[in-house]
Structure 1
Amino acid sequence: MHELAAYVADLPLWAAVLICLAENTLILVVGVALGTAVLRLKTVVRLLPDPGRAEPLQWWLAAGSVVLNTAITVVGWKLWTLGVIRFDLDAGWRIVVDLLVLVLAMDFASYLGHALAHVRWLYPLGHRMHHRFVDARPITLFALHPGEVIGFGALWLLMLSVVPLSVWALVGYTVINLVFGIFGHLGVEPLPLRWRRSRLFAIVATPTMHAMHHLNPARNLGFYTTIWDRLFGTLDDAYDPTRTSAT
């Protein structure tokens, strides 16, 4: 792992750009493929009407997100080579701790940023673009206003600059973020009813939670957990009954 890190650190800029572009393109492709596969499951409960094909604007916004996320990844790579961002390259027990800290910290920071994006005078400037797509599709996760992509990217780089983390925790968070993002933008609930009724999923956000946010943008502002929505009173009153319902 250390040899690979040394090789990546010495890459020329053009090579780093191509690798980062390939990485972010792969995330888009895997995300859309995963979402499409989930939609084909016969056991899913549909929460929103089937929207059919994505409109061209969604694909253009998604392509822009890939380009901007590539630029953010390149900046992160450069900050890492300069020692501003530091990673623990060894596998060990701290991976679990780092992953938990990273998920909770990003969940809280994203909640605050999401709440700010819904402030009346800020909402039309960016986040309203994402919410025009009420009938969710796999590509909807990536259909974001450029300002939102840059804002989340800046938050992400700040988080990595403040706390040295395990590189494996970073990989784990990337997977978790993609899964939660895709599942929350499908307009369906794929989780079995028995799981949704468990105490765990009273805290861990289900796909139902974000689908309801697209119907009622003032509620359900969290991403990975319901902690902050419950704490600050922004959880939709119908969320728990809907989450535990068979239909």
Structure 2
Amino acid sequence: MQQHSFWFYIVTFFAIILVRYLAMAGFAHWLLYHRQPATISVLKDIQLSVLSTGVFALATAVIMTLDDKGMTKLHGRMDAENWWVLPLSYLAVLVLQDAYFYATHRLFHHPRLFAWFHQGHHRSRQPTPWTSFAFDPLEAVVQALFLIGVVMLIPLHFITLLAVLTTMTVWAVVNHLGLEVLPLHFPHHWLGRWLIGPAHHSIHHRRYGKHFGLYFTFWDRVFGSEDPAYADALQPAAVVRPGA
């Protein structure tokens, strides 16, 4: 793979990450929220997202520079006999990232840390697609460190890393679609008991002490942070509408 300067990586990946965020969040907003005017919270979410983009671009530049120096376990080898390693490593990284996110996310809700690490993400109790990448800068740093750590410790194909990053972005957008634009029966699909979606995460934005996971509901169940009235909370009377 051709090597480039550190600043080339920063500028390139800042553009890629920002365009990806604007495209995915913008499409979801156009599809589901186009009749709603932009609010101050949406504009602030976009501002935070631009800052997060800078943090993740910096982290990606670090990863690429370390890889240029042979200091990561990223590789481009494709062995037909070991094709199963790609999906297995992909799933392994998602499970590890989910555990890391749960632990750090719950930690950031500690009263002494919340204002520094996570308050900006909760400006709106009813999230929108624009909230998906609205990390406070310090939180973005902590989440970006996971990506640097994982490529230093686990052998990963570049395709696997790209798949993880894409999944992270798409899942974040989906999780922040909000309840008011979706059929209430949608989150009640059996997958909703195992995979985190908009219904599960919307409850977190209304009840800060519940639902800290990223992809899977496992850790919320194990550590007792899943809302026991998860299904009941999705009924029309319990849904918090904008301006309520």
* TM category, shorter: 0.7 to 0.9
C-alpha separation between the residues in 1 aligned to 2:140 and 2:30?
Answer: 26
Conserved in 1, the CA contact under 8 Å of 2:117 and 2:139? Answer: yes
| 1:104 counterpart (95, 103, 121) | 95
Secondary structure class of the residue paired with 2:132: helix
C-alpha separation between the residues in 1 aligned to 2:169 and 2:6?
Answer: 26
Aligned to 1:93: 84
Name the aligned partner's letter for residue 84 of structure 1.
M
| Structure 1 residue 209: Cα displacement | 0.8
CA distance 1:180–1:81, shift in 2 (3 Å): same
Aligned to 2:133: 142
Secondary structure class of the residue paired with 2:111: coil
| Structure 1 residue 14: Cα displacement | 3.5
Aligned to 2:9: 16
Q: Deviations over 1:40-71 (max 9, x none)?
A: 69xxxxxxxx9741423323212211222211
Aligned to 2:213: 222
C-alpha separation between the residues in 1 aligned to 2:92 and 2:203?
Answer: 27
| Structure 1 residue 238: Cα displacement | 2.0
What aligned pairs does 1:202-213 form with structure 2 within 5 A after superposition?
Answer: 202-213=193-204
What aligned pairs does 1:130-209 form with structure 2 within 5 A after superposition?
Answer: 130-188=121-179, 190=182, 193=185, 196-198=188-190, 200-209=191-200
Give the stretch that moved more between structures: 130-139 or 222-231. Answer: 130-139
TM-score, normalization by structure 1: 0.83
CA distance 1:38–1:202, shift in 2 (3 Å): farther
Name the aligned partner's letter for residue 239 of structure 1.
Y
C-alpha separation between the residues in 2 aligned to 1:217 and 1:58?
Answer: 18
| 2:113 counterpart (112, 122, 130) | 122
Name the aligned partner's letter for residue 201 of structure 1.
G
Q: Deviations over 1:205-225 (max 9, x none)?
A: 121111110000100000100
Name the aligned partner's letter for residue 77 of structure 1.
M
C-alpha separation between the residues in 1 aligned to 2:45 and 2:186?
Answer: 34
Secondary structure class of the residue paired with 1:239: coil
Name the aligned partner's letter for residue 26 of structure 1.
V
| Structure 1 residue 244: Cα displacement | 9.4
C-alpha separation between the residues in 2 aligned to 1:241 and 1:179?
Answer: 27
Instruction: For structure 1, list consecutive stretches of 5 or more residues without a partner in the other structure.
Output: 1-5, 42-49
Q: Deviations over 1:145-184 (max 9, x none)?
A: 1111111111221122111112222121112111210111
CA distance 1:96–1:18, shift in 2 (3 Å): same
Conserved in 1, the CA contact under 8 Å of 2:187 and 2:197? Answer: no
CA distance 1:104–1:39, shift in 2 (3 Å): same
CA distance 1:206–1:191, shift in 2 (3 Å): farther
Secondary structure class of the residue paired with 2:59: helix
Conserved in 1, the CA contact under 8 Å of 2:184 and 2:235? Answer: no
Name the aligned partner's letter for residue 44 of structure 2.
L
Aligned to 1:234: 225
Secondary structure class of the residue paired with 2:11: helix
CA distance 1:123–1:97, shift in 2 (3 Å): same
The alignment-based identity, stated in percent, is 22
Name the aligned partner's letter for residue 173 of structure 1.
V
Name the aligned partner's letter for residue 15 of structure 2.
A
Aligned to 1:30: 23
CA distance 1:196–1:90, shift in 2 (3 Å): farther
Aligned to 1:61: 48
| 1:113 counterpart (104, 111, 116) | 104
Secondary structure class of the residue paired with 1:125: helix
C-alpha separation between the residues in 2 aligned to 1:158 and 1:34?
Answer: 32
CA distance 1:191–1:224, shift in 2 (3 Å): farther
